[in-house]
A = this chain, B = another copy of it.
Amino acid sequence: MVNNPKDSNTEEKILHTAMEVFVEKGLLGARMQEIADRAGINKALLHYYFRTKERLYSHIFQFILKKSAGDIIELLNSNLPFEDLLKNFISKYIDIVHKNHRIPLFIMKELSSGGNTVKEVVKNVFNIKNTEELPAIRIFKNAMEEGRIVTMDPRQIIITVIGACLFYFIGEPIIRTILIDENNFDRDQFIKERKKAVFDIVYYGLVPRGENK
């Protein structure tokens, strides 16, 4: 819609700032005035570019969802053997969430309140036709066929891995309050150990007994 560099700069500045504010405060908590202030412009200009708050939010949400989907898909594009692939996925996925710790909760908040429109966006963004043939499903099915891991519904494994990776970051405030002694806590170290713990539990939970491959 807008082509010259000046426009593009303003629009991108808006998008960038709006993303920060929406991710911090949510759709309802965010204020157009605050977005304008932080972007160094005024409210009217926000409406000039995106007409309504909802449309601006929608842009942000889709962008974030696309980015998140892309990150995961990229992590799965690999020819590593199963053990390395799993280790690699857990490590890199935790890194991504570590750097963007507010994103998962942001996405889940939206999806829990959003209607079917949102679901269509998800399907488009992830380019889903047949759930049976998702790369992640195939990876586990192959490992099962090769006898590397026990037979189990791959979806259950995926939910377990993602949940285990995400939960620390989604629940960090309550986890730290309940479980962690703040006087003696090295967060980076704990997250590093988190990677190893998730891998160890999941991997050895899946590898058949009697094999120490």
Q: Chain A: residues with CB nearer than 8 A to chain B?
A: 25-26, 28-29, 102, 105, 107-109, 111-114, 118-119, 122-123, 126, 128, 131-132, 134, 137, 150, 152-153, 155-160, 162-168, 170-171, 173-175, 177-181, 193-194, 197-198, 200-206, 209, 212
Contacts and interface: CB of A to CB of B under 8 A. Distances in A.
16 contacts: A26-B113, A105-B108, A107-B174, A108-B173, A109-B109, A112-B173, A118-B173, A123-B177, A128-B178, A131-B180, A159-B167, A159-B168, A163-B167, A170-B170, A204-B204, A209-B212
B173 A164 contact: no
A14 B146 CA distance: 58
Contact of A179 (B112, B134, B178): B134
A152 B200 CA distance: 10
Contacts of A202: 201, 205
B164 A159 contact: yes
Instruction: Specify which of A26, A132, A171 lies most central, judged by the most chain B CB atoms within 10 Å of its CB.
Output: A171
A112 B106 CA distance: 10
A122 B160 CA distance: 26
Nearest to A201: B205
Given A160-B201, A193-B156, A202-B205, A122 B177 contact: yes
A152 B26 contact: no
Contact of A205 (B107, B122, B193, B204): B204
A133 to B, nearest CB: 11
Given A159-B194, A164-B163, A206-B201, A178 B108 contact: no
A211 B101 CA distance: 39
A168 B29 CA distance: 26
A107 B159 CA distance: 21
